[in-house]
Amino acid sequence: MTSFTFSHAEADDWAGLAKSLADGLKAGAGNGGGDRLGFIYVTDMMADELGSILTYLRQTTGVENWVGSVGIGICASGVEYFDRPAAAAMIGDLPKDSFCVFPAVTDPDQGISSSVRTWVEEASPPFAIVHGDPTNEFTANLIESLSLTAADFLVGGLSSSRGALSQVAGEITQGGLSGVLFAPGVEVATGLSQGCVPVGGSHVVSDCLDNVIIGLDGKKALDVFKDEVGELLARDLNKAAGYIHAAFPVEGSDIGDYVVRNLMSIDPVRGWLAVGEEVKAGDRVMFVRRDPKSAEEDLGSMIGNLKKRLPSSPRGGVYFSCVARGPNMFGEEGREMALIRDQMGDFPLVGFYGNGEISSNRLYGYTGVLALFL
């Protein structure tokens, strides 16, 4: 039977932090004859010590296979840690040969290694948990490529840090997309919660250049933008650019799903909008705003819907949220974790706050993605 145990702690030095984690894990999740997998997330204040923490946990728990990331914020069941040295770890006792850790893939043409490819061909994994580098220009392509060549459905997040953007995939790695693939015998359920709400309908890109939207619906893009956001924000474009974002509806979605991208700049002279995504004529785009109340309601709804799908209480879970959420959106640490715990109970759960969230084969922004082991 799949089982999990977890631990979280904060300490000023890596040794004290690692010892607290190991003590909390109580030498791991037990060994039922399967294979054990560890998850480790540290705040960026401990990024330079991640290798030492990982070595200590290996030695004290006996778990060799670990995956994880650095984040400006991290979380565990009921708690969040921002701007202080902290870490969260979880160990799962999984069926034998049911997962495969893979190191960072940095280029879509590179692909996964031959040994990982052999495992994929034999196991046909339907699911993966991944961590990515936000500075790699191919990250979105890597996500799509991995979903086509290795596992259909991915969840995860992009590292966030004011220093090293380290990931863990067996060893310390960075620069690309890394993680762990799961065989069909590992049962999971996932959910995604939006953090932005539309301020109007969708529009058709009628003229563009790379990531610059020149025209919408045959009009100047900025004119359409001003009409949507209202007179007050239209007068202060600097404020609007920090509050309003562009969103691209997911084609074929039956739940009105969309991916959010930042407004990078506004050209008031030409009437152009630059967004954090390459666009092409015919794309549909809408404008959305960050809204804490709606985000909390959507998270609660996602958790409730996910709970209805579960045959029993989750054995473990990983949560990936946006660094712009957490206390930056809800005004207090722990709000997202409290919502999950209040509806689903206290179970082993760890995660982090990143520079982007991954669900299915797409890179999202301002969302919360929850993966549960059943």
pLDDT at position 32, please? Answer: 57
* DSSP string computed for 325-355: STHHHHSSTTHHHHHHHHHH-S--EEEEEES
Find where tokens 């997998």 sit: 37
CA dist 355 and 81 (Å) reads 16
User: Which residues fall within 8 angstroms of residue 228, CB to CB, at 6 or more apart?
Assistant: 199, 200, 287
pLDDT, the chain, mean: 92
End-to-end CA distance of the chain: 10
pLDDT at position 235, please? Answer: 79
HEC secondary structure over 173-234: ECCCEEEEEECCCCCEEEEEECCEEECCCCEEEEEEECCEEEEECCEEHHHHHHHHHCHHHH
pLDDT at position 161, please? Answer: 96
Average pLDDT per block of 10 residues along the chain, 374 residues long: 89 96 74 82 97 96 96 96 97 94 92 92 96 95 94 96 95 95 95 92 95 96 90 77 87 82 91 93 93 92 93 94 92 90 94 96 95 96
All domains of the chain, ordered by start, with CATH?
3-193+295-373 (no CATH), 196-290 (2.40.30)
Contact (Cβ atoms closer than 8 angstroms) between residue 352 and residue 41 = yes
CA dist 357 and 338 (Å) reads 20
pLDDT at position 125, please? Answer: 96
Name the nearest CA neighbour of 146 among 122, 126, 160, 165: 126
- The torsion angle over the Cα atoms of residues 327, 333, 336 and 340, rounded to 10 degrees, is 180
pLDDT at position 231, please? Answer: 78
Contact (Cβ atoms closer than 8 angstroms) between residue 248 and residue 263 = no
pLDDT at position 1, please? Answer: 57
In this structure, the strands spanning 263-267 and 177-182 are: unpaired
Name the nearest CA neighbour of 130 among 151, 108, 116, 161: 151
What are the tens digits of pLDDT across the range 50-106? 999 999 999 999 999 999 999 999 999 999 999 999 999 999 999 999 999 999 999
pLDDT at position 238, please? Answer: 77
pLDDT at position 362, please? Answer: 94
What are the tens digits of pLDDT across the range 272-319? 999 999 999 999 999 999 888 999 999 999 999 999 999 888 999 999
pLDDT at position 232, please? Answer: 74
